[in-house]
């Protein structure tokens, strides 16, 4: 081999050895002192910590279902529908809650709306025609009545005592298959949801499965008390386990008015508003980050007469501090028609006070 080739080979070997040494410096091999199996972190005296209190067992669902089920009814509504092909009959199924032993049954307005005839099937299999006592589209509640007495009725609980995570059961005529029950937890309280242009307030969000036919049935706590009336669910491919019930605290006074008077009257201020939160405050450079921002005033309404204008932010109404639009709705409804309510609002940087005499909510 010529000296030229020997020299070239020597250079290649030297370069290769240099690269190997450089690579090893970047990725050092582990030594016994660097082993991931080192005993320096071990503790030969370690044991599991002593056991604490026994875990709380799951609720016993069957007794709750057995207690509530006799007071839950299946509701079938018959209505006439016009189409290109003429008149046809359509049937809507839902659920209801027997509220006393005289035959009054609470359900959803959308279950009985536009009904030509209504039939109720009791848990014992008996079927009765039903008449509408009163409906309230604003709350999506209705009361119907059957000609029967000595009925098993539901007991109502206090929804204000609920906490997120509480176990609940939804009972009703799911998919028209008769009485059934699903379990879940309370996911959120005091939720709001817009349904066909009408906003429902004070809702309970739950993971208990709510299906067509459940509407109008009870959402109950583990004492078997009605703490909500199942109403709506979000249906979307990316959504799972989001249903809503009208809380018992919102529903009870409306049901009472429907039974007593056949209708519900609401006090009215005459504003369209949106919730003020920190993001909206920063975006619009508002001087407060809570309350109800007025976006429209109805001409001639109590709000108009009181001197409120667009972009005023109501922060207190009738003695109630407001955090959002739901608080404003509740504060208005806490007053009587004809009652004068003090309103504290922010206009620009200034806090001002006025008052409005509330009138009945216009029906048209």
Which positions are catalytic? 110, 140, 215
Residues 6+ apart with CB under 8 A from 83: none
Nearest residue to 233 (alpha-carbon basis) of 338, 144, 352, 110: 110
172 in Cβ contact with 218 (< 8 Å): yes
Residues 6+ apart with CB under 8 A from 109: 135, 136, 137, 139, 140, 141, 142
Q: Phi and psi for 243 in degrees, rounded to 5?
A: -125, 165
Nearest residue to 258 (alpha-carbon basis) of 158, 148, 159, 142: 142
3-state secondary structure 152-209: CCCCECCHHHCCCCCEEEEEECHHHCCCEEEEEEEEEEEEEEEECCEEEEEEEEECCC
- Dihedral angle at the C-alpha atoms of 246, 252, 254, 255, nearest 10 degrees? 100
**How many helices (H) and strands (E) are present in the chain, helices listed first?**
7, 20
Alpha carbons within 13 angstroms on the beta-carbon side of residue 106 total 30
3-state secondary structure 12-62: HHHHHHHHHHHHHHHCCCCCHHHCCCCHHHCCCCCCCCCCCCCCCCCCCHH
């Amino acid at each position: 081999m010529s000296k030229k080739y020997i020299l070239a080979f020597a250079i290649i070997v030297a370069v290769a050895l240099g690269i190997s040494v450089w690579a090893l410096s970047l990725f050092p091999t582990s030594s016994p002192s660097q082993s991931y199996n080192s005993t320096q972190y071990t503790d030969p005296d370690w044991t599991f910590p002593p056991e604490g209190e026994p875990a709380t067992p799951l609720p016993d669902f069957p007794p709750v279902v057995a207690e509530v089920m006799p007071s839950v009814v299946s509701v079938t509504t018959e209505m006439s529908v016009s189409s290109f092909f003429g008149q046809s009959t359509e049937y809507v199924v839902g659920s209801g809650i027997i509220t006393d032993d005289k035959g009054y049954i609470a359900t959803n307005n959308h279950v009985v709306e536009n009904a030509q005839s209504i039939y109720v099937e009791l848990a014992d299999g008996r079927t009765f025609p039903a008449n509408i006592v009163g409906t309230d589209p604003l709350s999506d509640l209705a009361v119907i009545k059957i000609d029967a007495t000595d009925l098993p009725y539901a007991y109502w609980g206090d929804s204000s005592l609920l906490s997120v995570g509480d176990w609940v059961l939804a009972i009703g005529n799911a998919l028209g298959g008769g009485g059934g029950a699903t379990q879940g937890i309370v996911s959120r309280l005091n939720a709001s949801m817009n349904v066909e242009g009408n906003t429902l307030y004070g809702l309970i969000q739950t993971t208990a499965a709510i299906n067509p036919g459940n509407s109008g049935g009870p959402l109950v706590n583990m004492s078997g008390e009605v703490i909500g009336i199942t109403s709506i669910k979000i249906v979307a491919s990316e959504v799972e386990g989001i249903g809503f019930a009208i809380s018992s605290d919102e529903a009870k006074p409306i049901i009472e008015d429907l039974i007593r008077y056949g209708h519900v009257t609401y006090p009215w201020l005459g504003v369209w508003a949106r919730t003020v939160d920190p993001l909206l405050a920063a975006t619009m450079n508002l001087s407060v980050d809570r309350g109800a921002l007025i976006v429209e005033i109805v001409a001639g309404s109590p709000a108009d007469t009181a001197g409120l204008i667009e972009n005023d932010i109501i922060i207190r109404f009738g003695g109630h501090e407001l955090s959002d639009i739901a608080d404003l709705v509740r504060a208005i409804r806490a007053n009587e028609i004809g009652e004068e309510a003090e309103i504290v609002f922010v206009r620009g940087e200034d806090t001002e006070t006025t008052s409005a005499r509330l009138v009945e909510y216009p029906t048209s």
